[in-house]
Amino acid sequence: MLTIRVNGVIHRLDVDPDTPLLWVLREQLELTGVKYSCGIEECGACTVHVDGEATLSCNLSVSEVVGKEIITIEGLKGPVADALREAWMEGDVPQCGFCQPGQLMTAAALLKANPNPSDDVIDDVMSGVLCRCGTYQGIRQAIHLAARRLSK
């Protein structure tokens, strides 16, 4: 048995400690906003926050996050999250939408660390999350829009 804290809720789990956090979230806790796409830390679809940092969950053993604060897209809240979601809505960023939880989790961590990122910084940080539909231009604009609103 191990205990993890996800979106503010403590869960006691009977699970192989080597199981990647991604699959514990998706299959044990039924938090399916976090996505499986590559499984080898190439695409960013599985991004969650671990102690506030954007973290890939597909190769991260659940035993490694015991005692840490895990946030998924379902639990992403607060002014940064609200500003990003609002900007996402205004720009109609998603297309197929599959990668968008990973995009938003990464963008939220970015804005918390750097409230006014340049295009280069956005590109650098967000390049870890693949979007096959090519919503990148919309993501970049939405991050700028959210940053502007948050700085007011």
Note whether 1 binds other proteins by CB under 8 A: no
Shortest spacing between CB 139 and other proteins, in angstroms: 7
Binding residue for other proteins (CB under 8 A) from 98, 112, 145, 149?
A: 98
Task: Identify whether the C-beta of residue 79 lies closer than 8 Å to the C-beta of residue 57.
Answer: no
Please give, one letter per residue, the 3-state secondary structure of 101-144.
Answer: HHHHHHHHHHHHHCCCCCHHHHHHHHCCCCCCCCCHHHHHHHHH
Note whether 117 binds other proteins by CB under 8 A: no
Amino acid, res. 27: E
Amino acid, res. 77: K
Q: Binding residues for other proteins, per CB under 8 A?
A: 16, 19-20, 23, 26-28, 30-40, 42-43, 45, 72-74, 85, 88-90, 92-101, 104, 122-124, 126-127, 129-140
